[in-house]
Structure 1
Amino acid sequence: MRLYHHSISTCSRRVMMAALHMGTPLELTEVNLMSPEDRRRLVAINPNSKLPVLQDGEFTLWESCAIMQYLADRTHGQDLYPDNILIRADINRWMMWGVQHFAPPISTLCYENIWKGMSGRGGPDAAEIDRAGRLIAQFAAVLEQHLAGRDWVVCDTLTLADLALAPSLTYIQQAKLPVTQFPKLMAWLGRVSQLDAWKQTMPIW
């Protein structure tokens, strides 16, 4: 199986963390999103022009959480995505919540406070920062409440839910993400950050 990714992509990092933790072998191809030629190649395998993309023989799969679930189903003996239908439904709920609610405003702050300036597109937009910051605080409060009395997002052990949510917080300092006032969220992130898979996939600046 081949994964097209980029080391600074938090969506790519979700998949990489899951594969590393489960011991799922992947061949890696890094895509330079600043290269027009690499962009053309990417569109050929993902019409959304987004990373990551998994190729397994003739089968091509995009969307990071779908890839994580597929890899778990392909990995014998993994424990990140149990067969129990109720546990899977709960994991799926939090993975979808992450990509629908939690990650988008975080991506906005990452763009405004990091990538926008690096790509020469001007300075941060104060209105966008305010809007995204309020949404992040709103949804971080949901996760904070959910984590009361628990170490992990689903059940009492690490699952795909944790590995889907935590990478969104990769640039917590650089993007000035307004989440440090949530102690349970920060304690959970601290537990995730102790995982070898987190340490091995941390982007180098």
Structure 2
Amino acid sequence: MKLYYAETLAPRKTCAVAKYLGLPIEYAFVDLKKGEHKKPDYLAINPNGKVPCLVDGGKSLWEADAIICHFAQRAESDLWPRDGRQIDVMRWLSWNSHHLYPHAGSLYFESIIKPVLGLGEPDPAKVAEEQGSFRKLAALLDQHLKGRKWLLGDGLTIADFSVAVSLPYAKSAAIPLDEFPEVRRWHDQLNAFEAWRNPFPVRPVTPSANAARNA
């Protein structure tokens, strides 16, 4: 399996799950700043021009959530439950994709990606707006996590890796994580895993990569 990635939010979850499961992955770094995701050879495997993308044999698989499902299936891991909990996993993947992630991702973009790409300083009005939206959704998540170790209860699943993907950047992206004690506790549990703290493979460090990785 060959995983095309960048050191940004969506690829982070795929790298974390692959490392957690100990999968034999060949990693291919895609330099977004150089526009490598828009070059013909990359568009041939992912016409969306986005990262991550997985090539497994003759199959090309886009979208981070689909990739982590595939990883868990390949490993025959309970991260992708083989019972009725699959529906709950899909519920949380969908909720994150349509609700939490867009707002957390916007904060990540304003505070981390814009400076790396030379797009200027964060827009204070945009940051305030996205923080307000994040707070509403994080309050729902905080309530759900009361009495639960993980999103689905006692068992860790790919839903935890997906929904939490923006939280390692909370401080540098002005994400108000500390206002939500249950969400903070839940994320602290993920931080106990080396695969979550340091998901990306080691590669020669460039200034732009270092800024994104350590933000």
Tell me which interval the TM-score lies in, with the shorter structure as reference length.
Answer: over 0.9
Task: Assess if the C-alpha contact under 8 Å between 2:33 and 2:117 holds in 1.
Answer: no
Partner of residue 73, structure 1 = 73
Q: Secondary structure at the match of 2:23?
A: coil
Identity value in percent: 35
Partner of residue 60, structure 2 = 60
Partner of residue 17, structure 2 = 18
Q: Secondary structure at the match of 1:61?
A: strand
Structure 2 alignment gaps of length 5 or more:
201-212
Partner of residue 121, structure 2 = 123
Q: Distance in 2 between matches of 1:122 and 1:11?
A: 23
Structure 1 alignment gaps of length 5 or more:
none
Task: Assess if the C-alpha contact under 8 Å between 1:42 and 1:50 holds in 2.
Answer: no
TM-score (norm 2): 0.88
Deviations 1:102-148 (A, max 9, x none): 11111111111122122221222222112211111111111101001
How do residues 85-124 of structure 1 correspond to structure 2 at under 5 angstroms?
86-124=84-122
Q: Structure 2 counterpart of 1:74, which letter?
A: R
Partner of residue 192, structure 1 = 190
Partner of residue 210, structure 2 = none
Counterpart pick for 2:159 among 158, 161, 174:
161
Deviations 1:3-23 (A, max 9, x none): 0001x2121111111112222
Say what the alpha-carbon RMSD is for the aligned residues: 1.5
Q: Distance in 1 between matches of 2:63 and 2:36?
A: 22
Task: Assess if the C-alpha contact under 8 Å between 1:3 and 1:55 holds in 2.
Answer: yes
Structure 1 stretches (4+) deviating beyond 6 angstroms?
none
Counterpart pick for 2:179 among 158, 178, 181:
181
Q: Distance in 1 between matches of 2:128 and 2:158?
A: 30
Deviations 1:179-198 (A, max 9, x none): 21100000100000001211
Alpha-carbon offset, residue 158 of structure 1: 1.0
Q: Structure 2 counterpart of 1:73, which letter?
A: Q
Partner of residue 143, structure 2 = 145
